[in-house]
Amino acid sequence: MAYTLAFAPFDLYLTVFPALAYLFWTCMPLTPKRGLLRGYLFGLGQFGLGVSWVYVSVHDYGGGGAFGSLLIAGLFVGFWSAFPAIAVYMTAKLPGKQSGRLIFYPLVWILIEYLRGKIVLEGFPWLQIAYSQLDAPLAGYIPLIGAYGAGLLGAISAALLTGIFIRPKSALYLLIGIMSIWFGGGVLKTAEWTRPYGEPLKVTLIQGNISQDKKWLPETRVSTILQYIRMTEAHWDSQVIVWPESAVPAYLPDVYEPFLKPLHQSAKAHQADLIVSVPSYGDAEGEKYNSVITLGRNEGIYRKVHLLPFGEYMPWQPVSGWILEHFNLRLSHFTPGSADQPLLRAGGYPFITSICYEDAFSENALRGLQDAAYLVNATNDAWFGDSIEPHQHLQNARMRALETGRYLLRSTNTGVTAIVSPDGRILKQAPLFTTTALTGTIRPMTGLTPYAWIGDRPVVAFIAALLFLILLLTRSDKMRLFRIDEKCPI
């Protein structure tokens, strides 16, 4: 669990290193089968605490009973816990002395993080090393080599820490290695990869604080929309106003004429732009989209591309469908939007749009970034109540600001609504579970970070190639990280 304490809302970012170091140290002398078990137990601690909010979502707001919710949360934790186990197992299968495995752990760990974060079920990048380091020196590497590159340096730091205990005579050199990595990150944090252009924008983010169990009730629909309209009308002096995900609890055709069209005309009269999240229909029968529209000086629509598995679509049919039906759980069924949608515009500038879960994936923020002046994320974390999920989710969103060198406007229903700077710092933040409007100023940004140019694939390809090269050298007996005969203690 010490690993998970490095992440929000605990933010003890240093704990990730002794946690990983202890795992590496205790697993080096193990057989692959015993390593598999040890890694799985580590994963249960990592995800058992880290994604405990699944139970809250399923039980409190998904309509599941206590037993069914606990079972589904347990299956979720158990599934993702397999990935640390796979990393340990694969490392134990590699050739060389037990102590020599230490050089493989950081490389294999990050490759498995990539598998979990990008590929399986279209990715679940929660609780990856780099996300815990947004306020630490290692964050300086993120605009350069992204979350996986910075995560590798974090894993290497943990491996060097392990080496201090394995070979105390080399402790000074290993400590210098750790300090060099961290010093380099600290220097890079002072670099400015993008630059402002144009005039500052006054922005307002609306946090309606509508309870999830009341949000979609027919009798509360009109009062919910009117509340957002009243809060918006109090801030016509802002150039950009953002509503959270599905702030409008009805489909677009049902509310456009009576509510949104007059609001569009008012926004236009006040020289403002309104960014509204509202579900919409597609051209084909049965197509439903989780959408964001712009009203005011510019009109447009964005349809969510990266849908939430088991929340907005059902993978692993028919098994997953049977489970949800058996436990009487409610589920939305959306269609993914096209990946090549034009950028929306507000405040006179184009921006990158993401809806809820999409802000956990860098590719969504990088697509069209060269033309975008800032980022906008509309989220509804009311599904998770007063759990640690809203804080973790904001941490994920901050990573996108840092990777892209852009301001981020993040409007949520119940929190955490925030304005984030291009270096990932939270400039303003609204309290959880309050009805409020968060107002601030941002600068449109231009230019690209090195990471925005290259993305994740070259970084991960380099890690894989480095692992292969070390394997070749190890097999040819030309390289040993440590030359010791003693067995490593457990």
Site of tokens 């994604």: 51
DSSP per residue over 92-145, as a string? Answer: HHSSS-TGGGGGHHHHHHHHHHHIIIIIGGG---TT-GGGGGTTSGGGGGHHHH
Q: Which two tokens stand for residue 229?
A: 């309209």
* CA angle (110, 116, 118) in 5-degree steps: 95
Is residue 206 within 8 Å of 380, Cβ to Cβ?
A: no
Instruction: Kindly state the helix (H) or strand (E) to which residue 385 belongs, with its residue range.
Output: none
Is residue 119 within 8 Å of 456, Cβ to Cβ?
A: no
Strands 201-207 and 195-196, bridge-based pairing: unpaired
Interatomic CA distance for residues 479 and 469, integer angstroms = 11
CA distances in angstroms from 350 to 235, 331, 361, 372, listed in the order given: 21, 32, 20, 5
Is residue 291 within 8 Å of 304, Cβ to Cβ?
A: yes
Q: Is 304 a catalytic residue?
A: yes
DSSP per residue over 162-210, as a string? Answer: HHHHH-GGGHHHHHHHHHHHHHHHHHHTT---SEE-S--EEEEEEE---
Instruction: Please tell me which residue in 215, 304, 312, 389 is annotated as part of the active site.
Output: 304
When computed from its CA atoms, the radius of gyration of the chain, rounded to whole angstroms, is 24
Phi, psi of 374 (to 5 degrees): -165, 175
DSSP 9: T
Beta-strand ranges (E) seen in 139-263 are 195-196, 201-207, 240-242
Instruction: Please tell me which residue in 27, 113, 356, 403 is annotated as part of the active site.
Output: 356
Q: Which two tokens stand for residue 468?
A: 């292969």
Residue 101, SS3?
A: helix
Q: Which two tokens stand for residue 261?
A: 């069209």
**176 Cα distance to chain centroid:** 32
Q: Is 488 a catalytic residue?
A: no
Instruction: Kindly state the helix (H) or strand (E) to which residue 152 belongs, with its residue range.
Output: helix 142-166
Residue 315, SS3?
A: coil
DSSP 483: -
Q: Is 428 a catalytic residue?
A: no
Is residue 117 within 8 Å of 125, Cβ to Cβ?
A: yes
Instruction: Please tell me which residue in 113, 245, 389, 403 is annotated as part of the active site.
Output: 245
Q: Please state, as a whole number, how many other Cβ atoms lie within 10 Å of the Cβ of residue 180.
A: 11
Active site residues: 245, 304, 356
